[in-house]
Amino acid sequence: MIIQRLILINWKNFQKADFQLVNRNFIVGANAAGKSNLLDVFRFLRDLVKQAGGLQYAVEERGGVPKLRSLSARTETGISIEIHLGEADTPSTPDWKYKLTFKNTGGGIQKNEALVIEEKVWSKAAKKWVLDRNASEDKDTETRKFTFLEQINSNVEFREVYYFLREIQYLTLYHNS
């Protein structure tokens, strides 16, 4: 299984971006073009599910929501990450879709934290959204500080996504000449 598609809204320097991915991708660009910011989204997803990780950890490791949110963000204030997972030979038919949208909460005398606005999981096998979490339905701000993905008791129907993200590795290769 691979990440077939990545959709970002307000992620660092990407106000809106939609990437189709294949088995092997090359990211090339000038300095400060956003290559590292793009790769960091994969580490962020891994940090959501790693042991002693989770949404608050992943956000805090990157300096908080204000550091993650695109400076170009206008009317859409949340940060949204959507991935489509599936086989490399069927890019138009993902087995899974995972979408997380979160925003900043707190400030002043309250601790700045991330708050889940939306979390959705589509299953091709079930042919439906197996999770469709919306902030307008969930008024408990304490539970919205955590994703269902990171909670082992809540991700039973989509644990395959959890396991996939947990295995993400980020390697930096250096050539010494």
**Span 30-67, pLDDT tens digits:** 887 778 888 899 999 999 998 888 999 999 989 888 88
Give the start-to-end residue ranges of the domains of the chain: 2-166
Average pLDDT over every residue of 2-18: 92
- Is the pLDDT confidence value at 109 over 60? no
Nearest to 4 by CA among 90, 62, 78: 90
Going across the sheet that includes 96-107, the strands are: 14-20, 2-11, 79-86, 96-107, 110-123, 128-134
- Is the pLDDT confidence value at 108 over 70? no
The fold of 2-166 is Rossmann fold (3.40.50)
Q: Which tens digits make up the pLDDT trace of 54-105? A: 999 999 989 888 888 887 777 777 899 999 999 888 878 899 999 999 998 8
**What's the chain's length in residues?**
177
**Residue 5 to residues 120, 144, 154, 173: CA-CA distances in angstroms?**
15, 26, 24, 24
- Pairing relationship of beta strands 110-123 and 128-134 according to DSSP bridges: antiparallel
State how far the Cα of 107 lies from the Cα of 120, in Å rounded to an integer. Answer: 27
Q: Which tens digits make up the pLDDT trace of 129-172? A: 999 998 777 778 888 888 999 998 899 899 999 999 999 887 77
175: pLDDT confidence band, cut at 50, 70 and 90? low
Q: Are 92 and 84 in contact (CB under 8 A)?
A: no
8 or 51: which leads in pLDDT:
8
Please report the pLDDT score of residue 147 as a whole number.
Answer: 92
* Token duo for residue 85: 């997972």
Average pLDDT over every residue of 9-38: 85
Nearest to 65 by CA among 145, 132, 140, 131: 145
State how far the Cα of 43 lies from the Cα of 62, in Å rounded to an integer. Answer: 11
Please report the pLDDT score of residue 177 as a whole number.
Answer: 66
Q: Is 96 exposed, middle or buried (0-12, 13-18, 19+ CB in 10 A)?
A: buried
